[in-house]
Amino acid sequence: MKKWLKSLKTKTPQEGYELAITLSQKGVEYTQPSEAIRKKLRPKYAKDPDSLTAASQVIAINFQTVAAANNYWKDHVKFQ
Amino acid sequence: MKKWLKSLKTKTPQEGYELAITLSQKGVEYTQPSEAIRKKLRPKYAKDPDSLTAASQVIAINFQTVAAANNYWKDHVKFQ
Amino acid sequence: MKKWLKSLKTKTPQEGYELAITLSQKGVEYTQPSEAIRKKLRPKYAKDPDSLTAASQVIAINFQTVAAANNYWKDHVKFQ
Amino acid sequence: MKKWLKSLKTKTPQEGYELAITLSQKGVEYTQPSEAIRKKLRPKYAKDPDSLTAASQVIAINFQTVAAANNYWKDHVKFQ
Amino acid sequence: MKKWLKSLKTKTPQEGYELAITLSQKGVEYTQPSEAIRKKLRPKYAKDPDSLTAASQVIAINFQTVAAANNYWKDHVKFQ
Amino acid sequence: MKKWLKSLKTKTPQEGYELAITLSQKGVEYTQPSEAIRKKLRPKYAKDPDSLTAASQVIAINFQTVAAANNYWKDHVKFQ
């Protein structure tokens, strides 16, 4: 597979979250490399609430990794 | 997507928990961007106990991240 | 939602475990705020062994957070 | 509930694993306090391979906590 | 149960992975102690791809514990 | 099983992600050693979106381990 992951560092927490989404999608892509098949699966998938929760869970796990890699962006101390 | 996550820091543990809920919902929103579809899914979802447990699990995973980012709010040492 | 989480610190590991249970329940409550609906779901839920295991898993994840926040109660060095 | 968890410290890794099992069972007990109901659920549960894997997963998560609390029993450096 | 876990330390990452498998199997054994029943469940189980993924997930969780206990075998710095 | 895991260290994050995939597959292989059976299971598996999400989740868990073992490749500080 061509280069898609250069670093776990991101400038902001939100970019880190979006990187976690990419990591989650890549896990699917490596397992099912056919884009045609993945696209066909999408409609069913994206309308099943349990599938959506499961997707969010994988993102959450990857976000743990990205957040740790960025030391939780502790320089960005603006409170929510 | 517009800016929604400025920092993982929160003032209190409860705000941290609520940020974990936001993170969990965002994982669903990125996967299913249509608000109309998400709203249609909600009634079924929110009455299925296993779906609710799964939702709580994603929140728990995100709360681990938020809690670590805040060093577990160790300055807030009031006991439960 | 009114204040329900003041701190992740607890005096003993068992209180920490019980806080993990509260955290797990709150994840459900935020997702399904109606107490009436939650009560109706309970009978089915509490008799399904897989649902019970799933509940225990969410507690386990939250207990990781609480235990870390308390530095694993390392002052309570009484062996089991 | 009466006192059942005094400490996360154990003398050996195996006792730590067994404590992780106790923690996993307690998550079920708090959710379904009736021992009669839990016993009735057991036969079905213990013959379903996916239920057994799920049980092992909860134990694995709790074992992470117990192992960290014991600093991975690093004084017990006998190799496997 | 007789002694089966002396230490989390292993000489190599691969032995660590294999210890993670043992830990995962033990979670099943403690829950269903009858070897006869476990053997009967195996054929169905080992041909269900989702069951296999679930098994791999439990191993992954236990491998996190074993890897941390071994400080990720950082003396074994040969690259993959 | 012959030697397949020499180290958790990789040169880049992407190689680390690919090692996480290998670790995830090995969990399946140890549980179902027959390559013939695994190949037969694959078509169904790779077209079920929930199975793909589950696979991505196992990869995410293993990637946490690999990333920690590499100190999150903090020398590779190029931003995404």
Q: Which residues of D touch E45 (CB under 8 A)?
A: 49-50
The answer to whether F5 and F61 are in contact (CB under 8 A) is: no
What mean pLDDT do residues A65-75 have? 94
- Span C16-28, pLDDT tens digits: 999 999 999 999 9
Does the beta-carbon distance from C42 to B49 stay under 8 Å?
A: yes
What mean pLDDT do residues E58-79 have? 87
pLDDT confidence bin for D80, thresholds 50/70/90: very low
Can you give the pLDDT at residue C76? 56
Q: Which of D62, B20, D27 is CA-nearest to residue E61?
A: D62
Helical pair A13-31 and F49-69, crossing angle rounded to 10 deg: 120
A34-51 burial string, b = 16+ CB within 10 Å, else e?
Answer: eeeebeebeeebbebbbb
Q: Do chains E and B touch (3 or more CB pairs under 8 A)?
A: no
pLDDT confidence bin for B32, thresholds 50/70/90: very high
Can you give the pLDDT at residue A5? 97
Please state the φ and ψ torsions of residue C76, each to the nearest 5 degrees: -90, 70
Considering only CB atoms, E73 lies closest to which of F7, F42, F61, namely F7
Chain centroid to CA C70: how far? 15
Q: What six digits make up the tokens of E63?
A: 């491998």
Assess whether pLDDT exceeds 50 at residue A60.
yes
Q: Which of A2, A8, A69, A54 is CA-nearest to residue A29?
A: A2
Long-range contacts of D39-46 (CB under 8 A, 24+ apart): D41/C47, D41/C48, D41/C49, D41/C52, D42/C49, D44/C49, D45/C49, D45/C50, D46/E31, D46/E32, D46/E37
Q: How many CB atoms lie within 10 A of CB D41?
A: 18
Can you give the pLDDT at residue D1? 72
Considering only CB atoms, F41 lies closest to which of E47, E54, E68, namely E47
Among C11, C19, C23, C56, pick the best mutation site for testing chain D contact (most D Cβ within 10 A).
C56
Can you give the pLDDT at residue A1? 72
How far off is chain E from F45, nearest CA to CA, in Å? 6
Does the beta-carbon distance from A59 to B27 stay under 8 Å?
A: yes
Does the beta-carbon distance from C59 to D6 stay under 8 Å?
A: no
Query: Where are the extended beta strands (E) located within chain A?
Result: none
- The residue of chain B with its CA nearest to that of C68 is B72
Is the Cα dihedral B12, B18, B19, B20 positive or negative? positive
Which residues on chain B place their C-beta less than 8 Å from a C-beta of chain C?
Answer: 12-14, 17-18, 21, 46-50, 52-57, 59-61, 63-64, 67-68, 72-74, 76-80
- The residue of chain C with its CA nearest to that of D15 is C80
Q: Which residues of C touch D32 (CB under 8 A)?
A: 46-47, 52
How far off is chain E from D57, nearest CA to CA, in Å? 5
Assess whether pLDDT exceeds 60 at residue A19.
yes
The span from the CA of D53 to the CA of E57, in Å, is 9
Q: Which residues of B touch A21 (CB under 8 A)?
A: 27, 30
What mean pLDDT do residues B15-40 have? 97
What mean pLDDT do residues B9-13 have? 97
- The residue of chain E with its CA nearest to that of F36 is E47
What mean pLDDT do residues A24-42 have? 96
Assess whether pLDDT exceeds 70 at residue E25.
yes
- Span F30-53, pLDDT tens digits: 999 999 999 999 988 899 999 999
The answer to whether C59 and C17 are in contact (CB under 8 A) is: yes
Neighboring chains of B (3 or more beta-carbon pairs < 8 A): A, C
Considering only CB atoms, D31 lies closest to which of C46, C60, C74, namely C46
Does the beta-carbon distance from B9 to A77 stay under 8 Å?
A: yes
pLDDT confidence bin for D77, thresholds 50/70/90: very low
Assess whether pLDDT exceeds 70 at residue C75.
no
Chain pair D-E, CB pairs under 8 angstroms = 108
Does the beta-carbon distance from E27 to D57 stay under 8 Å?
A: yes
- The residue of chain D with its CA nearest to that of C15 is D5
Q: Which residues of A touch F49 (CB under 8 A)?
A: 41-42, 44-45, 51
Q: Do chains D and E touch (3 or more CB pairs under 8 A)?
A: yes
Radius of gyration of chain A from its Cα atoms, rounded to whole angstroms: 15
Q: Which of F52, F53, F62, F74 is CA-nearest to residue F16?
A: F62
| pLDDT one digit per residue (tens) for chain F, 80 residues | 789 999 999 999 999 999 999 999 999 999 999 999 999 999 888 999 999 999 999 999 999 999 999 999 996 545 54
Assess whether pLDDT exceeds 50 at residue B60.
yes
Neighboring chains of A (3 or more beta-carbon pairs < 8 A): B, F
In E1-80, alpha helices (H):
13-31, 35-45, 49-69
- Span D22-59, pLDDT tens digits: 999 999 999 999 999 999 999 888 999 999 999 999 99
Assess whether pLDDT exceeds 70 at residue B78.
no
> What average pLDDT does chain B have?
93
